[in-house]
Amino acid sequence: MAVKVHDDYWNLVRRLPLVPIRNRAHLHEASRMVTELATRADKLTDGEQEYFSVLVDLMAAYEKEHKTVRREKMTSAEVLKALLDEHGLTQKALAERVNITRTAL
């Protein structure tokens, strides 16, 4: 049994294909599309709703795999800790990389 796919779904796929998110730039494009669709969520067609659902799943998969951090709602200390964790660095290793000593602080 073939599944009927609506034309409006294909129109969105042509704008931003539904493939695994590859990098932050691709994630940003996907986020813009989700925002665009979300602004009219109560008026989406069936095809647009299906596209929206799959795109959100692809974004979530990328964020889970890459542990993407939503930095805009974090304090600077939380951002720094998240970046250290994301890159497997300690505070000492960071200080050594940027050549900071305790006396310089």
CB neighbours of residue 75 within 10 Å: 9
Per-residue pLDDT of the chain (105 residues; tens, 9 = 90+): 677 888 999 999 999 999 999 998 998 899 899 999 888 888 889 999 999 999 999 998 888 888 755 556 767 676 677 666 666 777 777 666 665 555 544
> Is the full-model pTM beyond 0.85?
no
Give the torsion sign (CA, 38, 2, 16, 56).
positive
Distance CA(3)–CA(47), nearest Å, equals 12
CA 101 to chain centre: 35
pLDDT of residue 65: 84
Distance CA(13)–CA(89), nearest Å, equals 39
pLDDT of residue 77: 72
